[in-house]
Amino acid sequence: MTWVEAVKARRPVPNGRSLILAVETSCDETAAAVVEDGTRVRSNIVSSQIPVHRRFGGVVPEVASRRHVEQITAVMAAALEDAAVRPDDLSAVAVTYGPGLAGALLVGLMAAKTFAWVYRLPLIGVHHIAGHVFAHRLAGGPDPPWVALVVSGGHTELIYVRDVNTFEILGRTRDDAAGEAFDKVARALGLPYPGGPQIDALASDGDPERFAFPRSFLEGDSLDFSFSGLKTAVLNLLGESRSRREPIRVEDVAASFQAAVVDVLVEKTARAARRHPGVPVVVAGGVAANRGLRRAIGRRAEEDGFSWSAPPGEFCTDNAAMIAAAAAPRVGRGWVHGLDLNAEAGLDLEDWAAGHGVVIFPREDPPVRRA
Ligand code: KG4
Ligand code: ZN
């Protein structure tokens, strides 16, 4: 029996029930996890490459790929072992196939495809940002619809998630991602990579009003973001203080910079929430771990009367459990990919949600492909 026949012949999984092994290697974390029904984390293994990339001040793609190759088998085996699950118990294998570093994505994808082929399991390709959006489900978050703010090292997006297969981008960054701005400012301050957590820690001892950094709200009621002007303002301030030999407190720079990022993120999120009254807000991605952002969103939610949630820190930064959470709604529907699934460094989120690239539909008609 071929893999396709075996996958088609599997007993249908009752809707909402699943046991998924997920793999994530889009950037600098080699991760695998086992998640039950898209919400209960049975295991969550993350092998971080941060110390490897630190001496370069950022992620070096080729180094990341090689490191994934070294780690992936052990990480997947550990995820199964921690969950006390045998491959035959699984209902599917999920894997991030974009967006991300092409070489890094390929490592996880090849490992997941091989596993799926050997054990005759359905393969579910997942969009990395969808993973972030679903992460709060691992901590008891609500069912969709959601207004999602995704703030990570590579992305800053506001998304209206009408249902699990209808995502609408409301706004996105026109230049730097929020996490990228944190990392670049931290680097200029001489702090190690990744800079977000360092700035978060320093900011709690600083004066957020010491420096009036610019807040870019863009034209009209746009929900797009721009952080490059803010980053430049911080770099200029540091340059001036150095040339005038006037020392400034790093804590104050960190607090003032963080306040400027947070002001914009919170204001735009509140606007998006106003456009979708009654819809809960979910905040996700590495920067969602930021304490200043969480406090400010919490305050604004109370003032404006919207509900909100964010996953605990371990599910904010890259992990594979969130990839399983995003894959779970697809298991019951039979929305799976073929073994020819390829890495897509620029995978589109709305297309992914609508079922673009899905090839086997044992239980439902295929969705209409978007033009
Ligand atoms: O989601 P993530 O782990 O990877 C990407 O998909 O990019 O996000 C990593 C980003 C980095 O830029 C890092 O500096 C930032 O999230 N980050 C934070 C915090 N923790 C991680 N930024 C601000 N405050 C934090 N506590
Ligand atoms: Zn991420």
Could you read off the pLDDT of 113-169 as tens digits, one per residue? 999 999 999 999 999 999 999 999 999 999 999 999 999 999 999 999 999 999 999
What pLDDT score does 363 carry?
52
Let me know whether 302 and 258 are in one domain: yes
CATH number at residue 310: 3.30.420.40
Atom number of ligand 1 nearest to Cα 317? 3
pLDDT above 70 covers what percent of the chain? 96
Rounded Cα distance between 313 and 298, Å, is 16
Residue 371 falls within a domain, yes or no? no
Angle between helices 195-203 and 250-275 (to 10 degrees): 100
Atom number of ligand 1 nearest to Cα 291? 26
- Collapse the DSSP code of 248 into the 3-class scheme (helix H, G, I; strand E, B; otherwise coil) and give the result: coil
Given ligand 1 and candidates 26, 156, 287, which is best to mutate, with the most ligand atoms within 8 Å of its CB?
287
Using one digit for the tens of pLDDT, what is the confidence trace for 186-209? 999 999 988 999 999 999 999 999
Using one digit for the tens of pLDDT, what is the confidence trace for 2-37? 898 888 888 777 766 899 999 999 988 999 999 999
Residue 369 falls within a domain, yes or no? no
Residue 367 falls within a domain, yes or no? no
List ligand 1's pocket residues with C-beta within 6 A.
27, 152-154, 179, 182-183, 194-197, 200, 285-287, 289-290, 317-318
pLDDT above 90 covers what percent of the chain? 81
Residue 365 falls within a domain, yes or no? no
- Collapse the DSSP code of 308 into the 3-class scheme (helix H, G, I; strand E, B; otherwise coil) and give the result: strand
Contact between 151 and 164 under an 8 Å Cβ cutoff? The reply is: no
How many other CB atoms sit within 10 Å of the CB of residue 191?
A: 20
Those residues whose beta carbon sits under 5 angstroms from the ion ligand 2 are: 152, 318
Residue 370 falls within a domain, yes or no? no
Rounded Cα distance between 122 and 250, Å, is 51
The CA-atom distances, in angstroms, between 130 and each of 33, 99, 139 are 16, 10, 16
Using one digit for the tens of pLDDT, what is the confidence trace for 301-359? 999 999 999 999 999 999 999 999 999 999 988 899 999 999 999 999 999 999 988 98
Least confident of 61-75, 141-155, 255-269, 318-332: 61-75
Nearest one of 303, 290, 336, 25 to 156, comparing CA atoms:
290
Closest residue by CA, ligand 1 atom 16? 286
Residue 352 falls within a domain, yes or no? yes
The range of the structural domain enclosing residue 45 comes to 3-135+318-360
Radius of gyration of the chain (CA): 21
- Collapse the DSSP code of 15 into the 3-class scheme (helix H, G, I; strand E, B; otherwise coil) and give the result: coil
Centre of ligand 1 to C-alpha 39, Å, is: 23
Ligand (nearest to CA of 195)? 1
Let me know whether 212 and 155 are in one domain: yes
Q: Within the chain, where are the H helices?
A: 3-9, 50-54, 61-83, 102-119, 128-134, 178-188, 195-203, 228-243, 250-275, 291-304, 313-316, 321-333, 349-353
Question: Quick one: average pLDDT of 263-284?
Answer: 98
What's the CA angle centered on 180, arms 176 and 182, to 5 degrees? 120
Closest residue by CA, ligand 1 atom 7? 153
Centre of ligand 2 to C-alpha 59, Å, is: 13
Domain count within the chain: 2
19 Cβ contact partners less than 8 Å away, ≥ 6 residues apart: 34, 35, 36, 37, 42, 85, 89, 90, 91
